[in-house]
């Protein structure tokens, strides 16, 4: 029986991952770790245990792990790419000093660890089309620097200490529950909010800019499937390319227009976001994930658009 701790359980991915893991493993077996100021509410609070668990506080992580007999940690604490450019030291503190704390606690208590990497772990010198699993990773953002370090440190703990670390490189994650904050791919979430509210959307990313994206149900499936995978099949560990869909702003706009013909979009390019987007892959090759643990996404762009437009109004139109 798994006993899981999610660090960052009230964030963009954590809030939905916690609920999904509770539906699989039982509410009492999944602890929502949060920081003061980002307390769980509603279903997230009521469906299972919750504990203050700041990734920068090693004793707190250790205490929660021991108290609940945790065997698997999902470490989702991070600053996204744009925010991290403004607060590089904090991004390092959360992303790497925090990871160090998690890995040490995992080593002492025999826990498996999932700490996601990202398309942000690639940089301008990475091949952009069908980006291979093993390739050049020289990002120029602090977010990217922390993600490459995350991959290396996680692999190090596996090779040196046998800590069962595994992860995926997430594309931009799109969902209708908790909005992201301060990422480069956020436009692909924001656009649905504008469409549903019947407002014109100003896109900060230039026409023609391709990036990998994934719908939340597939992102959750990846995070769960990789931790359930047969370890004897894994050649790679930290972290697997996973691909689902790749599109540019005009393509997601066209997908929404099919269902909302009056929806309007204009461009006002944000230079920082654009330079980050330009340095990331157009589309990743995820054949290693497909071969080593049978990764297969469910949603394509139109399937995601239909689901977003169906679910979002109930959440945001009061
Ligand atoms: N969604 C993240 C960002 O845009 C990338 O992983 O920062």
pLDDT in tens, 231-244: 999 999 999 999 99
Taking the C-alpha atoms of residue 58 and residue 101, their distance in angstroms, rounded to an integer, is: 5
For residue 311, what are the contacts with CB-CB under 8 A and spacing of at least 6?
176
Active site residue 143: yes
Active-site entry in 34, 68, 74, 143: 143
Give the tens place of pLDDT for each residue, 76-134. Answer: 999 999 999 999 999 999 999 999 999 999 999 999 999 999 999 999 999 999 999 99
Residue 108 Cα to ligand 1 midpoint, Å, equals 31
pLDDT for position 261: 97
**Model pTM?**
0.97
Q: What are phi and psi of 10, to 5 degrees?
A: -105, 5
**Residue to mutate (ligand 1; options 91, 151, 185, 215; most atoms within 8 A of CB):** 185
**Atom number in ligand 1 closest to CA 84:** 7
Work out the number of other CB atoms within 10 angstroms of the CB of residue 179.
12
Which 3-state string (H, E, C) describes the chain? CCCEEEECCCCCCHHHHHHHHHHHHCHHHEEEEECCCCCCCHHHHHCCCEEECCCCCHHHHHHHHHHHCCCEEEECCCCCHHHHHHCHHHHHHHHHHHHHHHHHHHHHHCCEEECCEEHHHCCCCCCCEEECCCCCCCCCCHHHHHHHHHHHHHHHHHHHHCCCEECEEECEEECCCCCCCCCCCCHHHHHHHHHHHCCCEEECCCCCCCEEEEEHHHHHHHHHHHHHCCHHHCCCCCCEECCCEEECHHHHHHHHHCCCCCCCEEECCCHHHHHHHHHCCCEECCHHHHHHHCCCCCCCHHHHHHHHHHHHHHHHCC
HSE-up of 171 (CA within 13 Å, CB side)? Answer: 30
Residue 158 Cα to ligand 1 midpoint, Å, equals 25
Residue percentage of the chain with pLDDT more than 90: 97
pLDDT for position 317: 84
Residues in the chain with pLDDT < 70? 1
pLDDT for position 179: 86
User: What does the angle CA 209 – CA 244 – CA 71 come to, to the nearest 5 degrees?
Assistant: 125
Q: Considering only CA atoms, which residue is closest to atom 2 of ligand 1?
A: 183
Q: What are phi and psi of 30, to 5 degrees?
A: -130, 110
**Atom number in ligand 1 closest to CA 143:** 7
8 A C-beta contact, residue 65 and residue 59: no
Place of tokens 């790679």: 236
Taking the C-alpha atoms of residue 130 and residue 292, their distance in angstroms, rounded to an integer, is: 18
For residue 142, what are the contacts with CB-CB under 8 A and spacing of at least 6?
84, 85, 88, 91, 92
Beta bridge partners of 266: 202
pLDDT for position 1: 67
Residue 38 Cα to ligand 1 midpoint, Å, equals 20
Which structural domains are found in the chain, ordered by start?
A: 4-171+215-241 (3.40.50.720), 172-213+245-283+299-316 (3.90.25)
Taking the C-alpha atoms of residue 289 and residue 240, their distance in angstroms, rounded to an integer, is: 6
**Atom number in ligand 1 closest to CA 119:** 6
């Amino acid at each position: 029986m798994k006993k899981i701790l999610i660090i960052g359980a009230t964030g963009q991915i954590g809030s939905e991952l916690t609920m999904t893991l509770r539906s699989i493993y039982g509410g009492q077996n999944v602890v929502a770790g949060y920081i003061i100021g980002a307390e769980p509410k509603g279903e997230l609070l009521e469906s299972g245990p919750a504990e203050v668990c700041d990734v920068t506080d090693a004793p707190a992580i250790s205490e929660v792990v021991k108290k609940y007999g945790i065997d698997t940690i999902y470490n989702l604490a991070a600053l996204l790419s744009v925010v991290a450019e403004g607060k590089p030291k904090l991004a390092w503190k959360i992303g790497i000093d925090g990871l160090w704390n998690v890995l040490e606690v995992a080593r002492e208590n025999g826990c498996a660890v999932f700490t996601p990497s990202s398309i942000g772990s690639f940089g301008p010198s990475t091949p952009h089309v069908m980006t291979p699993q093993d390739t050049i990773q020289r990002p120029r953002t602090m977010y990217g620097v922390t993600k490459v370090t995350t991959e290396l440190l996680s692999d190090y703990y596996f090779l040196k200490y046998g800590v069962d670390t595994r992860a995926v490189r997430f594309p931009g994650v799109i969902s209708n529950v908790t909005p992201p904050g301060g990422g480069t791919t956020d436009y692909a979430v924001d656009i649905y909010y504008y469409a549903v509210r019947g407002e014109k959307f100003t896109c900060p990313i230039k026409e023609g800019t391709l990036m990998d994206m994934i719908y939340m149900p597939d992102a959750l499936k990846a995070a769960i499937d990789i931790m359930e995978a047969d370890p004897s099949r894994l050649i790679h560990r930290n972290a697997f390319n996973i691909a689902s869909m790749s599109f540019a702003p005009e393509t997601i706009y066209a997908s929404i227009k099919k269902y909302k013909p009056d929806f309007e979009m204009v461009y006002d390019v944000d230079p920082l976001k654009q330079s980050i987007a330009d340095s990331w892959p157009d589309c990743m090759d995820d054949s290693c994930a497909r071969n080593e643990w049978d990764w297969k996404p469910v949603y394509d762009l139109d399937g995601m658009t239909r689901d977003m437009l169906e679910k979002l109004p109930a959440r945001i139109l009061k």
